[in-house]
Amino acid sequence: MSPTLEARMHTQAIMPFKARIYIGLAVLLGLLALCRGIHPWESGNLIRFALYLIIAVIGSGLKVTLPGIKGSMSFYFLFVLISVVQLSLPETLVMVGAAVIWQGYWHAKPTPVQVAFNLASNFVAADLAYITFHARAWETVLVGAPVRLAAAAIVFFIANTVPVASVIGLTEGKKVHKVWMESYLWTFPYYLVGASIAGFFSWLSVKIGWEAALLLVPVVIILFHGYRLYVGQLESDKQHAEEVASLHLRTIEALALAIEAKDQVTHDHVQRVQTYALEVGKDLGLGKAELEALQAASLLHDIGKLAVPEHIISKPGRLTPEEFEKMKIHPTVGAEILERVKFPYPVAPIVRAHHEKWDGTGYPAGMKGEEIPIGARILSAVDFLDALASDRQYRRAYPLDKAMSMLVEQSGVSFDPQVVEVLQRRYIELEAMARNAPPPEVTTLSTDMNVERGVAPDAGFEEEAAPAAPGKAIDPSPAPGNFLSSIAAARQEVQTLFEMALDLGNSLSLPETLSVLAMRLKQLVHFDTFSIYVLRNEKLIPEYVSGEDRALFASLEIPLGQGLSGWVAENCKPIVNGNPSVEPGYLNDPSKFSKLCSALSVPLEDCSGVVGVLTLYRAEPNAFSRDQLRIVQAITSKLAVALQNALMYRQARATATADYLTRLPNTASLFIHLDSELSRCERTSEALSILVCDLDGFKGVNDRFGHRTGDRLLRLVADTLKDCCREYDYVARMGGDEFVIVLPGLSGEPLEMRQSEIQRAIQAAATRLCGEAVVGLSIGKAQFREDGRTVEDLLAIADRRMFNNKQKNKNPQWAHTDLEVSPEFQQTY
């Protein structure tokens, strides 16, 4: 089986420079070997030479494609070995050249470069094999023909396969020794078998004549079919292995998607961790299986968080001891999940141990030092570094240099010093690489287990405040033994809570109520900023903010579930000493900066659910205590009821003076406004005009298009009327499809022009909504002094004139029955 080059070298320009130099030298060497061996020509028997040549050419056409590379092999090497024994060197080289050319052009179209290289390498191999077999040195050691033939076969094998493997490696960017070992080394036994067959037929030719070579034809055909079946099986096994690897890759991707669905911050995190971890593993010399396991574990190390409640995972603050106990199960659960996948490399042990620490204080098993799998040691350090350098719910990201220095501080304590050394040496390079880097059998998981190991999370537990300094709010938890302070604090707490309860029920004015509450509460719980957020349309809107950075927090709109206050509202759980900077609209905006470092946030719930959130902020870190949380929670139920009542009262007041559909002032507001305007115009002698407007054909819109389209049209008319008026003009809805416009300081020709402008605008707006002109606008006007001096007189005269104009403006176009509403305006209004 002799290999030939069939790599994709369509043009010499696309080959690497090293490959072109190598091919040029190989061709030159082959040309020298041909010139040296072909002259002078020698042939003992031309008929025998011709027969061997024909059989060799036929054998060279029986070639098979090698698995894994773009190359092929044929059986003509058998005839090369026979010719080395029985023919002269010129005859051998001619037979080699003919066989190689035929092999190259049989069912293929090689390039001239490929043909030249194949010829040259085979000429050199045949020349060396011939020299090896006929070397005079064999006579001195009295070695027989079988040993010499075996040596010639070995030389031919090496000289024929190494050059092809070299040029394939240089051309395709592969390592030469790996190409040779994977694609050619396993064929070596066939060369030895070929040497045995060649020796047997040479002996047979001596006994019965060279015609015995004809018997080689069926032998070659049998060998060819057997080898082709063998290579086919190899290719089938290789394809199966690739399918299994692809299946595992898809499994990893599916599980990674499951993690991302649970924890939205994980997606970028796992991609960066994977890049870092693989490069550190390569630097430490991990094997192929270990790197594959590390790659899978980098994606899946947090899969166990699927068993942790989501409010704990997304909590924008430090964990309580109870929450941390629940979080500690995720390495064990993750390993249990991955054990069911049955990866061909050790992924589960890495996931199970990725929270173990070098000094043995980690969890769940308390392993230490090199007891921890190397993949887990790498993953632990990389995970820590990327977590510090990334934004989290409870803090902003540290600069990468700062995060690296914090990792170095834990070298030999939490992390493997060898891993830390690699990261410290290469973290800038790895960061650049990361930036540029473009489910099993259902079983009961260990979600109820109690993990004994683990003292505290790396970020620490929720911390309580130290006792208050003199002059500040009374500390509700005074030092033990100070019974007088304890009694005084208890009495003041009771008194203040009682007064706050009275204040919350005394007024329906929301700003007044919350202002008094903030003042009272500060006597018990010191804070720098007081904020009440009200839940509206899945967002928390600042209703009342006082104190430091008031403008900053008053500008926030917090989606439900996001940030510190949003998390509290969604999960109905308080947070003590959370980070204020994680509120949405604040975290990623460098222009919004505050020195406030601590937050105490509690949900405000009534019988209908959460109505808002009370959040207190302080400048000192870890400023609030659990006892202060207790005090705040003591008033939240009454505060929630008072807040809801005040909001309902505000809405009722707004509804009483405004039209619900169009948001314009209603009739009651109109009369109050007109009384005020008439009094003002009486004093200043200013002109005042009143327009009463009524839609023509509005009933037909309701009948033909439905009341929803009619409501949209009324809202559109209201918006259009406001757009046509000045800022100090007044537009109100009298009821139905009738509107009133109050125009101070306008009369005469400008008033006539304003009327025409309003009519055109209303007709255009209605046409856009309904597709055609379906309504018009009749207007009646009345002017102060000329037409009357009271509200009733002016409105009556304007209404009568409007009715007269309406009778004149009757248009059969409003009765058209084939009108269709424009789709885009249906969506807009």
**CA quadruple 578, 579, 581, 583: dihedral, nearest 10:** -20
pLDDT band at 816 (very low <50, low <70, confident <90, very high): very low
The whole-angstrom separation of Cα 183 and Cα 118 is 17
The whole-angstrom separation of Cα 617 and Cα 599 is 4
Query: Among 204-208, 518-522, 775-779, which is the least confidently predicted range?
Result: 204-208
Domain-embedded: residue 127: yes
pLDDT band at 62 (very low <50, low <70, confident <90, very high): low
Average pLDDT over residues 671-700: 90
Q: What is the pLDDT of residues 204-230, one digit of tens each?
A: 777 776 666 566 566 666 666 666 676
pLDDT of residue 367: 92
pLDDT of residue 477: 45
Give yes or no for residue 21 having a pLDDT over 60.
Answer: yes
Domain-embedded: residue 14: yes
Query: Strand runs (DSSP E) across 504-637, as ranges?
Result: 529-536, 539-547, 558-559, 575-578, 598-606, 609-618
User: How many CB atoms are located within 10 Å of the residue 597 CB?
Assistant: 18
Q: Please state, in angstroms and as integers, the Cα–Cα distance from residue 374 to each residue in 336, 776, 820, following that order.
A: 20, 81, 71
pLDDT band at 742 (very low <50, low <70, confident <90, very high): very high
| 8 Å CB contact between 130 and 89 | yes
Percentage of the chain lying above the pLDDT 70 cut: 76
- Of 656, 684, 705, the last residue of a domain is 656
- Of 631, 656, 681, the last residue of a domain is 656
- Same domain flag for 101 and 40: yes
Give yes or no for residue 85 having a pLDDT over 90.
Answer: no
Domain-embedded: residue 511: yes
Would you call 364 exposed, middle or buried from its count of C-beta atoms within 10 A (0-12, 13-18, 19+)?
Answer: buried
- Same domain flag for 375 and 519: no
| 8 Å CB contact between 615 and 514 | no
- Same domain flag for 44 and 185: yes
pLDDT band at 2 (very low <50, low <70, confident <90, very high): low
Which range, 389-398, 426-435, 616-625, is most confident? 616-625
DSSP 738: E
Q: What is the pLDDT of residues 129-156, one digit of tens each?
A: 888 888 877 777 767 788 888 888 888 8
Domain-embedded: residue 697: yes
Average pLDDT over residues 725-746: 91
The whole-angstrom separation of Cα 87 and Cα 201 is 13
Please identify which residue in the block is written with the tokens 């009778």.
Answer: 807
CA angle, 466 then 467 then 468, to 5°:
115
Give yes or no for residue 259 having a pLDDT over 70.
Answer: no
Cis peptide bond prior to 40, omega within 30° of 0? yes
Give yes or no for residue 310 having a pLDDT over 90.
Answer: no
Looking at the DSSP assignment, which residues form a beta bridge with residue 743? Answer: 689
| 8 Å CB contact between 152 and 195 | yes
Q: Which residue would you say has higher pLDDT here, 261 or 671?
A: 671
pLDDT band at 314 (very low <50, low <70, confident <90, very high): confident
Domain-embedded: residue 457: no
Q: What's the gap between Cα 810 and its chain centre?
A: 63
pLDDT band at 482 (very low <50, low <70, confident <90, very high): very low
Average pLDDT over residues 446-472: 57
Give yes or no for residue 691 having a pLDDT over 90.
Answer: yes
- Same domain flag for 542 and 416: no
pLDDT band at 440 (very low <50, low <70, confident <90, very high): very low
pLDDT band at 121 (very low <50, low <70, confident <90, very high): confident
- Same domain flag for 79 and 177: yes
Domain-embedded: residue 111: yes
Greatest Cα pair distance, the chain, in angstroms, is 144
pTM attached to this predicted model: 0.47
Average pLDDT over residues 102-117: 73
Give yes or no for residue 586 having a pLDDT over 70.
Answer: no
pLDDT of residue 720: 92
**CA quadruple 586, 588, 589, 592: dihedral, nearest 10:** 40
Q: Which residue would you say has higher pLDDT here, 660 or 423?
A: 423
pLDDT of residue 380: 92
Domain-embedded: residue 357: yes
pLDDT band at 501 (very low <50, low <70, confident <90, very high): low
- Same domain flag for 25 and 90: yes
| 8 Å CB contact between 423 and 279 | no
Q: Which residues contact 801 (CB under 8 A, 6 or more apart)?
A: 692, 780, 781, 782
- Same domain flag for 270 and 160: no
- Same domain flag for 631 and 677: no
- Helix H, strand E, coil C: the string for 64-97 is EECCCCCEEEECCHHHHHHHHHHCCHHHHHHHHH
Q: What is the pLDDT of residues 404-414, one digit of tens each?
A: 999 999 999 99
Least Cα distance to 782 among 811, 806, 755, 809 occurs for 755
Q: Which stretches of 343-457 are DSSP H helices? A: 348-353, 374-388, 400-409, 417-436
Least Cα distance to 43 among 210, 233, 194, 293 occurs for 210
The whole-angstrom separation of Cα 400 and Cα 427 is 9
Q: Which residue would you say has higher pLDDT here, 520 or 229?
A: 520
Please identify which residue in the block is written with the tokens 């990725």.
Answer: 354
Least Cα distance to 377 among 355, 345, 359, 360 occurs for 355
The whole-angstrom separation of Cα 801 and Cα 798 is 5
Give yes or no for residue 524 having a pLDDT over 80.
Answer: yes
| 8 Å CB contact between 700 and 814 | yes
- Of 181, 216, 251, the last residue of a domain is 216
Q: What is the pLDDT of residues 148-179, one digit of tens each?
A: 888 888 888 888 888 888 888 888 777 788 88
Q: Which residue would you say has higher pLDDT here, 2 or 756?
A: 756
Percentage of the chain lying above the pLDDT 90 cut: 18
Average pLDDT over residues 427-451: 66
Please identify which residue in the block is written with the tokens 């991955």.
Answer: 338
Give yes or no for residue 186 having a pLDDT over 80.
Answer: no
CATH no. for residue 318? 1.10.3210.10
Could you tell me the residue range of the domain that residue 787 belongs to?
667-828
- Same domain flag for 149 and 283: no
The whole-angstrom separation of Cα 552 and Cα 536 is 20
pLDDT of residue 70: 47
pLDDT of residue 585: 63
CA angle, 331 then 322 then 464, to 5°:
125
Helices 266-283 + 374-388 axis angle, to 10: 130
| 8 Å CB contact between 613 and 602 | yes
pLDDT of residue 350: 93
Please identify which residue in the block is written with the tokens 């997606």.
Answer: 267
Which range, 43-47, 235-239, 631-635, is most confident? 631-635
The whole-angstrom separation of Cα 540 and Cα 117 is 75
- Same domain flag for 354 and 325: yes
Please identify which residue in the block is written with the tokens 């899946």.
Answer: 300
Q: What is the number of domains present in the chain?
A: 4
pLDDT of residue 810: 67
- Same domain flag for 651 and 798: no
Helices 46-61 + 89-105 axis angle, to 10: 30
Domain-embedded: residue 495: yes
pLDDT band at 460 (very low <50, low <70, confident <90, very high): low
CATH no. for residue 33? 1.10.1760.20
Please identify which residue in the block is written with the tokens 């707490």.
Answer: 493
454: left (phi over 0), alpha (psi -120 to 50) or beta: left
The whole-angstrom separation of Cα 41 and Cα 39 is 5
pLDDT of residue 492: 61
Least Cα distance to 361 among 406, 303, 415 occurs for 415
Averaged pLDDT score across all residues of the chain = 78
- Same domain flag for 192 and 67: yes
Q: Which residue would you say has higher pLDDT here, 102 or 743?
A: 743
CATH no. for residue 600? 3.30.450.40
What DSSP letter does each residue of 210-260 carry, written as one string? GGGGGGHHHHHHHHHHHHHHHHHHHHHHHHHHHHHHHHHHHHHHHHHHHHH
